[in-house]
């Protein structure tokens, strides 16, 4: 089998406020062979979409090489088509015109453009919608247009950037099974597919191989080969084993790193945006039956209808605040977590406040500064500048936003967005 | 569709950058150069067709046709300018640094300013013939139309959704094809809105652009504008009424044959999910769309465009889209050229000022500028007080909106000169103070932008918010204070910024009112520039223009821009 795509030691950085570079992809290696569906699985911000854009030729790496059919990628290559998360359909073109666009760019004769477009529309199940405008269609039908538009150019590689994540659960499943079936029957004029996703089950359902991305900086942390025949059954024990395995892989390293990070302390810890309500909600769910304080991550994700992208940050925040322990694909409430679950609102705030002061250096730091100043207030820029020394601008903003929302819940200090300043006072 | 104000609101800093200064110096240098040249050129001719313009209404259709064609020609030029200038500014960061502030300065220079310094040059192009005068006239209309269109297009190009451009690149569209198939369509709805605004602006200054009078040069090109000018000079009230009717007809024709079809056509370029509640309708558009004729006529053009999309510039596909690593050498050359140009312009300006102007001139102009600023502030405040509540009332009632919008559009196009007879008679009859009572003429055309935008804002307030207000029994003053006014605030600001700029511009025609031999003058920078133009005193014209542009830009930067961003952050309803 030949390699459609080879990615060797790819490195990608973004410029940061302080003039330094932020590493988003570090030493990434992968291949895509003919006849394969390869999944890139990781959390948002893990750089998997960045890698997809490099492969698409929409951006250039700072190091390493990307080779498509033996030639280096130096721009959008013919034979690489993409399906976008937000569909990216042109609202002023009909379904047919949207599908024909890529063929026109190839400069084919009009008659061939028309016949190929109609064939693709037929294949993807869009018959009868040719003259509709995208805004008249439901999300599922829109993404079908996205697929038809990509398939019609007979690409060697189909890139899919979270193509199902903007759809509701039923529509997404319907589209996934249709796609897998077309692929299985060999009806798609495509040689290989790359799927970016943060949905573990989706990856196990569709892919032959799944590459797990770890973040900060992103690299491929593990490869899982899914040895299951298509069509796959979500309820089969083998399927669940794969899902469990990936959960463990994805949590273990991060949590381990977090444990180490605390002991090191410092105010340069990045905090993903998790609201206190999400934390309270998950604690309550964990405390209640059937979990009684301990749950399997895939199970609770399924029960609470949480995507991995939503579950992991909450679980990590709980880990950080010592309200729960995450280990080996399980999450378990700590003593504090259990007390939190049993308490009334005011005691919860008290517990949360103490956890912030003990385990979130940034929160303690802000509180300390406010206590020391006679005015008991400080501008936002004071802390933002400090953070930006260590992280990218938007990460710094998000970290600060997270701390603000936690501190507000804990009534540790308050923040006035109009004046962009922190203070100890609440409106009286 | 989000309408942005026609000034640069991108930069969120208060202090002028080097680029602002460079842009100011270059525009002023350009004006100075023209003014200098104009004084040196032999004043070529006393008048073209001066008073032999006939007030017989039978001539009006012919005049209206000529005026209409000039407007169309100027609109074509404005579009050409928009597509090139704005695209260049948006696509080339190197050029954009300068071009955006340049546009900012240009739109703050009063229309009469461009006209007075260039007319002699235009006339010298074809001495003794009408051609040069026609060029000057079209150029004057162009300067009242082009800037806001260019701003709108630039702002649209900068906000094309990234996944659309990425999809275009993925599917192998060349930069040329992407421009016509993705970027231009995306920019179309706001651009067409701005074309309508520009058309109104063109009408407002139609007398000024057709009946040109700079120093000894006096031209009256056959057209509605000159017709009004002559009618005012001869105190012919009936003729004024005829002119109003002719104008109304031309505006209606433009509306029905050009703008309404354009708006109906551009509705498909809206980005957004919701079907518009009442899709814009146009019988002309329906007719054109149904008839085969138009297909048949546009087919070759269409074919040609499709064919042109296939050409890929040789650089494309190699390193397309990775311009960030532009050559250092190019930078150096570019900045060097700019520095030289800027220095040269600065030198010209200094020499001009040193030879021609005394400090006392500057103080006079500045003082008058303050008076005009006071007028603008008071008038915009008054107009806001009146039109904001009305706009909210209308905007919440879709049927009323459909009636009010076109009427207001007509009023926006109404030239101030037409009200001169009324204003002058009233002021003379009651012996009123012209310093106060001429002022309302300044907002005559511009107050409508507040109304338009507030109506637009009120009609997009989410129904749920209004329902919530009803549900909690919020009514009366509390309703205005807590719900209606905050909800339209960002839209109001866009309108007020547009109106404020336009009001400065209008001061030139509004601070001086003539009716036959009666000449009324208010103290202000507008009257100062108008008088200097009449007298052909180029040094004062240049000074007046510079001071006015300074005021407009400073007010925009120090007042409107911060307010705009505050409103964007706090009051923008993201729905």
Cβ(A196)–Cβ(A32) under 8 Å?
no
Do B169 and A76 count as a contact with CB atoms less than 8 A apart? yes
**Tokens describing residue B84:** 């090139």
> B181: which chain A residues are within 8 Å (Cβ-Cβ)?
90, 101
Q: Stretch B250-263: mean pLDDT, rounded?
A: 87
Q: What is the pLDDT of residue A23?
A: 78
Q: In A, residues 59-118, which contact B (CB 8 Å cutoff)?
A: 60, 74-78, 80-82, 84-88, 90-92, 101-102, 104-107
Whether B50 shows a pLDDT value over 90: the answer reads: no
Would you call B273 and A84 a contact, using CB atoms and an 8 Å cutoff? Answer: no
- Interchain proximity B167–A88, CB inside 8 Å: yes
Cβ-proximal residues to B395 (8 Å cutoff; 6+ apart), any chain: B401, B454, B455, B456, B457, B458, B459, B461, B488
% residues pLDDT > 70 (chain A)? 93
A56 contact B CB<8A: yes
Cα distance from B173 to chain A (closest Cα, Å)? 5
Q: What is the pLDDT of residue B40?
A: 62
Check if A420 contacts B (Cβ < 8 Å). Answer: no
Q: With 60 as the cut, is the pLDDT of residue B48 above it?
A: no
| Residue A324, phi then psi, degrees to nearest 5 | -150, 160
Q: Would you say residue B323 has pLDDT above 50?
A: no
- Per mean pLDDT, which range of B13-22, B111-120, B171-180, B279-288 is the poorest? B13-22
- What is the C-alpha end-to-end distance of chain B, expressed in Å? 12
Q: Nearest CA of chain B to the CA of A93: how many Å?
A: 8
The answer, for A153 touching chain B at a CB cutoff of 8 Å, is yes
Lowest mean pLDDT among A48-57, A382-391, B522-531: A382-391
Angstroms from B500 CA to nearest CA on chain A = 26
* Cβ contacts of A148 within 8 Å, gap of 6 or more: A95, A99, A117, A120, A121, A123, A124, A126
Instruction: Kindly report the CATH class assigned to B19-291.
Output: mainly alpha
Distance (Å) from the alpha carbon of B18 to chain A's nearest alpha carbon = 22
Q: Is A424 exposed, middle or buried (0-12, 13-18, 19+ CB in 10 A)?
A: middle
Residue A419 contacts B where some CB pair is shorter than 8 Å: no
CB contact (8 A) between residue A88 and residue B166: yes
> How many whole angstroms separate alpha carbon A152 and alpha carbon B456?
41
Give the model's confidence band at B575: pLDDT under 50 very low, under 70 low, under 90 confident, else very high.
very low
Residues of B with Cβ-Cβ distance to A92 under 8 angstroms: 185, 268-269
SS3 B222: coil
Task: Rounding to the nearest 10 degrees, give the CA dihedral for residues B143, B147, B153, B157.
Answer: 130
The tokens describing B436, both together, are 């106060």
**Which residues does B contribute to its contact with A (CB < 8 Å)?**
161, 163-164, 166-167, 169-174, 177, 181-182, 185, 268-275, 306, 309-310, 316-322, 570
Q: Which residues contact B89 (CB under 8 A, 6 or more apart)?
A: B95, B96, B99, B100, B103, B150, B154
Q: Report the side by side order of strands in the sheet with A414-416.
A: A377-379, A421-423, A414-416
Residue B315 is predicted with a pLDDT of: 45
What integer pLDDT is reported at residue A266 of this predicted model? Answer: 60
Q: Are B176 and B311 in contact (CB under 8 A)?
A: yes
Residue of B nearest to A159 (CA): B170
Of B166, B177, B570, Cβ closest to residue A58: B166
Lowest mean pLDDT of A46-55, A97-106, A162-171, B26-35, name the range: B26-35
Lowest mean pLDDT, pick from A131-140, B126-135, B202-211, B353-362: B126-135
The predicted structure's pLDDT at residue A192: 92
Cα-based angle A123, A125, A127 (whole degrees, multiple of 5): 100
Q: In this structure, what are the phi and psi dihedrals at residue B270, rounded to the nearest 5 degrees?
A: -65, 135
Edge-to-edge, what's the strand order for the sheet holding A294-296?
A294-296, A330-333, A324-327
CA angle A56, A57, A58 (to 5 degrees): 90
Nearest CA in chain A to B309: A105
* Among A75, A92, A101, beta carbon nearest to B269: A92
Beta bridge partners of residue B211, listed in sequence order: B220
Q: Is the pLDDT of residue B173 over 90?
A: no
Residues 6 or more apart in contact with residue A13 via CB below 8 angstroms: A21, A22, A23, A24, A62
* Distances from the Cα of A222 to the Cα of A5, A30, A51, A219, B560, angstroms: 19, 11, 16, 9, 54
Distance in Å, alpha carbon of A204 to nearest chain B alpha carbon: 27
Least confident of A119-123, A352-356, B45-49: B45-49
Q: Which DSSP string corresponds to A232-290?
A: P-TTSHHHHHHHHHHHHHHHHHHHHHHHHHHHH--S--------HHHHHHHHHHHHSTT
Buried b (16+ CB within 10 A) or exposed e, A391-416: bbeebbbbbbebbbbbbebbebbbbe
B462 pLDDT above the threshold of 60: yes
pLDDT computed for residue B428 by the predictor:
83
Closest partner residue to B309 among A77, A90, A104, by Cβ?
Answer: A104
In this structure, the number of other CB atoms found within 10 A of the CB of residue A419 comes to: 11
> pLDDT (tens digit, 9 = 90+) per residue, B274-314?
555 567 778 888 877 777 777 777 778 887 877 777 776 54
Does residue B509 have a pLDDT over 50? Answer: yes
**C-beta separation of B384 from B377 below 8 A:** no
Grade residue B10 by pLDDT with cuts at 50, 70 and 90: low
Q: How many CB atoms lie within 10 A of CB B488?
A: 26
Of A38, A46, A26, A28, nearest in space to A309 by CA: A46
The structural domains of chain A, ordered by start, are 3-247 (3.40.50.300), 276-423 (1.10.10)
Q: Which residue has the tokens 């990234």?
A: B162
Mean residue pLDDT across chain A: 86
**Residue B370 in this model has a pLDDT that exceeds 50:** yes
* Residue B39 banded pLDDT, cuts 50, 70, 90: low
pLDDT at B463: 80
Q: A58 vs B170: CB contact, 8 Å cut-off?
A: yes
Q: Where in chain B is the domain with CATH 1.10.3720.10?
A: 19-291, 357-575
A127 contacts: CB under 8 Å, gap ≥ 6: A121
Whether residues A105 and B177 touch (CB distance < 8 A) is answered with yes
What mean pLDDT is predicted for residues A94-116?
88
What is the model's pTM?
0.83
Rounded CA separation A275/A256 (Å): 23
Q: Do B163 and A84 touch (CB under 8 A)?
A: yes
Instruction: Report the pLDDT value the prediction gives residue A17, as an integer from 0 to 100.
Output: 57
Q: What pLDDT shows up at residue B444?
A: 83
Q: According to the model, what pLDDT value does residue B537 have?
A: 83
CA dihedral angle for residue B275, residue B278, residue B281, residue B286, rounded to 10 degrees: 40
The predicted pLDDT at position A16 comes to 64
Residue that the structure tokens 């249709």 belong to: A178
Among chain B residues, CA nearest to A137: B273
Superfamily (CATH H level) for B357-575 = MetI-like (1.10.3720.10)
pLDDT > 70 fraction of chain B, expressed in percent and rounded? 90
Q: How many whole angstroms separate alpha carbon B425 and alpha carbon B25?
A: 43
CA distance A209 to chain B (A): 25
Q: Which pLDDT belongs to residue B70? A: 92
Q: Are B117 and B39 in contact (CB under 8 A)?
A: no
């Amino acid at each position: 089998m030949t390699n459609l795509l080879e990615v060797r030691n790819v490195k990608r950085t973004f410029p940061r406020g302080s003039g330094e570079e932020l590493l988003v992809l570090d030493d990434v290696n992968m291949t895509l062979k003919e006849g394969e569906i390869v999944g890139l699985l990781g959390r948002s911000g893990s750089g998997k979409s960045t890698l997809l854009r490099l492969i698409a030729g929409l951006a250039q790496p700072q190091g390493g090489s990307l080779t498509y059919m033996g030639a280096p990628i130096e721009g959008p290559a013919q034979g690489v088509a993409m399906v976008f998360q937000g569909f990216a359909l042109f609202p002023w073109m009909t379904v047919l015109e949207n599908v024909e666009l890529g063929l026109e760019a190839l400069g084919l004769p009009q008659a061939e453009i028309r016949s190929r477009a109609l064939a693709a529309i037929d294949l993807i199940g869009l018959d009868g919608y040719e003259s509709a405008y995208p805004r008249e269609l439901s999300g599922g039908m829109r993404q079908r247009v996205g697929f038809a538009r990509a398939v019609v150019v007979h690409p060697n590689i189909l890139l899919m950037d979270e193509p199902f994540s903007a759809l509701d659960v039923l529509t997404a499943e319907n589209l996934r099974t249709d796609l897998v079936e077309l692929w299985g029957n060999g009806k798609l004029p495509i040689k290989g597919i790359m799927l970016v996703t943060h949905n573990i089950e989706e990856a196990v359902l569709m892919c032959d191989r799944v590459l797990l991305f770890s973040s900060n900086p992103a690299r491929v942390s593990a490869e899982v080969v899914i040895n299951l025949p298509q069509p796959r059954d979500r309820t089969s024990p083998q399927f669940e084993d794969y899902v469990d395995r990936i959960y463990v892989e994805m949590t273990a390293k991060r949590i381990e790193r977090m444990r180490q990070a605390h002991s090191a302390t410092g105010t340069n810890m990045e905090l993903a945006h998790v609201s206190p309500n999400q934390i309270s909600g998950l604690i309550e769910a964990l405390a209640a039956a059937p979990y009684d304080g301990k749950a399997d991550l895939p199970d609770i994700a399924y029960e609470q209808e949480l995507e991995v992208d939503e579950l992991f940050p909450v679980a990590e925040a709980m880990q950080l605040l010592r309200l729960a322990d995450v280990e080996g694909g399980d999450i378990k409430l700590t003593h504090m977590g259990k007390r939190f679950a049993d308490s009334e609102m005011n005691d919860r705030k008290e517990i949360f406040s103490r956890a912030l002061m003990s385990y979130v250096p940034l929160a303690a730091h802000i509180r300390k500064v406010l206590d020391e100043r006679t005015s008991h207030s400080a501008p936002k820029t004071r802390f933002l500048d400090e953070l930006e020394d260590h992280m990218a601008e938007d990460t710094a903003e998000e970290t600060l936003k997270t701390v603000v929302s936690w501190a507000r819940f804990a009534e540790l200090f308050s923040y006035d967005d109009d004046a962009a300043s922190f203070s100890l006072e609440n409106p009286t | 569709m989000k309408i942005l104000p026609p000034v640069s609101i991108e930069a969120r800093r208060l202090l002028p950058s080097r680029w602002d200064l460079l842009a100011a110096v270059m525009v002023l240098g350009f004006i100075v150069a023209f003014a200098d040249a104009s004084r040196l050129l032999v004043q070529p001719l006393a008048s073209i067709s001066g008073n032999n313009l006939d007030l017989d209404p039978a001539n009006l259709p012919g005049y209206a046709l000529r005026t209409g064609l000039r407007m169309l020609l100027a609109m074509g030029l404005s579009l050409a300018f928009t597509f090139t200038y704005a695209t260049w500014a948006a696509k080339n960061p190197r050029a954009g640094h300068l071009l955006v502030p340049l546009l900012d300065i240009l739109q703050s220079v009063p229309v009469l300013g461009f006209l007075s310094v260039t007319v002699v040059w235009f006339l010298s192009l074809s001495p003794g013939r009408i051609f040069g005068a026609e060029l000057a006239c079209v150029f004057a209309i162009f300067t009242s139309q082009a800037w806001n269109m260019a701003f709108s297009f630039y702002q649209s190009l900068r906000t094309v959704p990234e996944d659309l451009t990425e999809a275009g690149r993925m599917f192998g569209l060349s930069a040329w094809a992407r421009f016509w198939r993705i970027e231009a369509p995306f920019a179309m709805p706001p651009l067409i809105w701005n074309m309508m605004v520009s058309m109104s602006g063109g009408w407002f200054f139609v007398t000024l652009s057709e009946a040109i009078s700079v120093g000894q040069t006096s031209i009256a090109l056959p057209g509605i504008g000159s017709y009004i000018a002559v009618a005012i000079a001869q105190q012919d009230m009936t003729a004024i009424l005829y002119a109003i009717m002719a104008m109304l007809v031309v505006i209606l024709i433009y509306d029905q044959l050009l703008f309404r079809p354009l708006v109906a056509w551009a509705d498909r370029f809206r980005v957004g999910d919701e079907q518009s509640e009442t899709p814009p309708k146009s019988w002309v558009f329906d007719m054109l769309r149904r008839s085969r004729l138009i297909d048949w006529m546009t087919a070759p053009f269409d074919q040609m465009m499709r064919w042109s999309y296939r050409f890929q510039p040789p650089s494309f596909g190699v390193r397309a889209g990775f311009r960030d690593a532009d050559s250092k050498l190019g930078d150096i050359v570019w900045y060097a050229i700019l520095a030289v140009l800027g220095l040269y312009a600065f030198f010209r300006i200094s020499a001009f000022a040193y030879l021609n102007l005394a400090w006392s001139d500057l103080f006079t102009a500045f003082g008058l500028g303050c008076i005009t600023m006071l007028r603008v502030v008071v008038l915009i405040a008054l107009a806001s007080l009146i039109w904001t509540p009305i706009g909210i009332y209308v905007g919440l009632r879709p049927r009323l909106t459909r009636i009010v919008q076109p009427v207001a559009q007509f009023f926006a196009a109404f030239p101030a000169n037409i009200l001169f007879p009324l204003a002058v008679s009233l002021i003379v009859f009651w012996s009123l103070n012209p310093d106060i009572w001429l002022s309302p003429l300044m907002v005559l055309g511009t107050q409508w932008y507040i109304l338009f935008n507030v109506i637009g804002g009120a009609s997009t307030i989410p129904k749920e918010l209004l329902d919530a207000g009803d549900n909690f029994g919020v009514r009366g003053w509390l309703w205005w204070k807590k719900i209606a006014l905050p909800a339209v605030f960002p839209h109001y600001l866009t309108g007020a910024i547009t109106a404020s700029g336009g009001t400065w511009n209008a001061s030139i025609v509004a601070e001086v009112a003539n009716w036959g031999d009666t000449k009324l003058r208010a103290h202000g920078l507008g009257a100062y520039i108008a008088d200097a133009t009449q007298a052909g005193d180029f040094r004062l014209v240049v000074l007046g223009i510079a001071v006015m542009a300074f005021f407009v830009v400073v007010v925009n930067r120090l007042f409107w821009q911060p307010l705009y961003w505050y409103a964007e952050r706090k009051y923008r309803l993201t729905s």
